[in-house]
A and B are shown apart, each in its own frame.
Chain A
Amino acid sequence: MTTGMTTPASWALRESATFDRATIAAIHQAAASGIYDIRGWGAKRALPHFDDLLFLGASMSRYPLEGYREKCGTDVVLGDRNARFPLHLDIPVTIAGMSFGALSGRAKEALGRAASEVGTSTTTGDGGMTPEERGHSKTLIYQYLPNRYGMNPDDLRRADAIEVVLGQGAKPGGGGMLLGQKVSERVAGMRTLPAGIDQRSSSRHPDWTGPDDLAIKIAEIREITDWEKPIYVKVGATRTYYDVKLAVHAGADVVVVDGMQGGTAATQEVFIEHVGIPTLAAVPLAVQALQELDVHKKPGGVQLIVSGGIRNGADVAKCLALGADAVAIGTAALIALGDNDPALAADYEALGSAAGFYDDFQDGRDPAGITTQDPELEARLDPVEGGRRVANFLRVLTMEAQTIARACGKAHVTHLEPEDLVAISIEAAAMAKVPLAGTSWIPGQGTS
Chain B
Amino acid sequence: MDTLTTTVDTSVETTIETTTYDLATTPLRELNSALHASGITGQYVVEHPAGAHNVAVGVDAPVTVTVNGHVGYYAAGMNQQADVTINGNAGPGLAENMMSGTVRVTGNASQSAGATGRGGLLVIEGDAAARCGISMKGIDIVVGGSIGHMSAFMAQAGRLVVRGDAGDALGDSIYEARIYLRGTAKSLGADCVEKEMGPEHLEELAGLLKAAGYEDDDPAAYTRYGSARTLYHFHVDNTY
A223 at interface, CB cutoff 8 A? yes
The verdict on B180 contacting chain A, using a C-beta distance below 8 Å, is no
CB-based contact B157/A192 at 8 Å: yes
Q: Which of A197, A220, A226 contacts B77, CB < 8 Å?
A: A220
Q: How far is the CB of A255 from chain B (nearest CB, A)?
A: 22
Which A residues between 160 and 206 are near B, CB-CB below 8 angstroms? 179-180, 191-194, 197-198, 200, 202, 206
Q: When the two chains form their complex, are residues B93 and A207 in contact, meaning their CB atoms are under 8 A apart? A: yes
Interface size band for A: 20 to 34
- Contact string, A8-50, partner B, CB cutoff 8 A, digits 1/0? 0000000000000000000000000111001000000000000
Interface size of B by CB at 8 A reads 44
Q: How far is the CB of A153 from chain B (nearest CB, A)?
A: 4
Decide if A147 is an interface residue (CB 8 Å cutoff).
Answer: yes
Partner of A206, one of B36, B116, B234: B116
Contact B156 A193 (CB under 8 A): yes
Residues A224 and B234 in contact, CB atoms below 8 Å apart:
no
Interface SS, B side: loop
Residue of A nearest to B31 (CB): A223
> Considering the chains assembled together, what is the distance between the CA atoms of A227 and B33 in angstroms?
10
Q: Which residues of B contact A225 (CB under 8 A)?
A: 58
* Residues of chain B in range 1-41 having any CB-CB distance to chain A below 8 Å: 28-29, 32-33, 36
Q: Chain A residues near B157 (CB, 8 Å)?
A: 192
Any B CB within 8 A of the CB of A66 = no
| Total inter-chain residue pairs, C-beta < 8 Å | 106
Q: Is the CB of A192 within 8 A of B156?
A: yes
Nearest CB of chain A from residue B141's CB, rounded to whole Å: 14
Q: Which of B57, B176, B233 contacts A224 (CB 8 A)?
A: B57
B residues within 8 A CB of A206? 96, 112, 115-116, 131, 134-135, 153
Cβ contacts A135-150/B at 8 Å (1 or 0 each): 0000000000001100
**How long is the Cα–Cα vector from A192 to B232 in the complex, in angstroms?**
14
B23 to chain A, nearest CB (A): 13
Q: How far is the CA of A216 from the CA of B112 in the complex (A)?
A: 14
Least CB distance, B58 to chain A, in whole angstroms: 3
Are A216 and B74 touching (Cβ within 8 A)?
A: yes
Report the minimum CB–CB distance from B93 to chain A (whole Å). 4
A311 within 8 A of B: no
- A residues within 8 A CB of B72? 216
Tell me if B154 counts as interface (CB < 8 A to partner A). Answer: yes
Q: From B56, which residue of chain A is reached at the shortest CB distance?
A: A223
A419 within 8 A of B: no
Q: Which residue of B lies closest to A180 (CB)?
A: B233
Within 8 A of A (CB), among B74-88: 74, 77-78, 80
* Shortest Cβ gap from B51 to chain A (Å): 12
Q: Chain A contact residues: over half helix, strand or loop, or mixed?
A: loop
Q: How far is the CB of B228 from chain A (nearest CB, A)?
A: 13
Cβ contacts under 8 Å, B153 to chain A: 206
A213 with B232: CB separation less than 8 A: no
How many Å from the CB of A29 to the closest CB on chain B?
12
A153 touches B233 (CB 8 A): no
Q: Which residues of A lie under 8 Å from residue B135 when comparing CB positions?
A: 147-148, 202, 206
Q: Which residues of A contact B99 (CB under 8 A)?
A: 152-153
Partner among A148, A152, A193, A213 whose Cβ is within 8 Å of the Cβ of B175: A193
Complex contact A179–B92 (CB within 8 A): no
A35 to B233, CA, bound (A): 12
Question: Separation in Å of the A128 CB from the closest CB of chain B?
Answer: 11
A153 and B176: CB pair below 8 A?
no
15 further A-B pairs in the complex, CB-CB below 8 A; given A35-B235, A192-B138, A192-B157: A33-B236, A152-B99, A192-B137, A194-B175, A194-B176, A198-B232, A206-B96, A206-B134, A216-B72, A216-B73, A217-B74, A220-B93, A224-B57, A224-B77, A226-B32
B residues adjacent to A (C-beta < 8 A): 28-29, 32-33, 36, 53-54, 57-58, 60, 72-74, 77-78, 80, 92-93, 96-97, 99, 111-112, 115-116, 118, 131, 134-135, 137-138, 153-154, 156-157, 173, 175-176, 232-236, 240
Q: Give residues in A with beta carbon < 8 Å to B.
A: 33-35, 38, 147-148, 151-153, 156, 179-180, 191-194, 197-198, 200, 202, 206-208, 213, 216-217, 219-220, 223-227
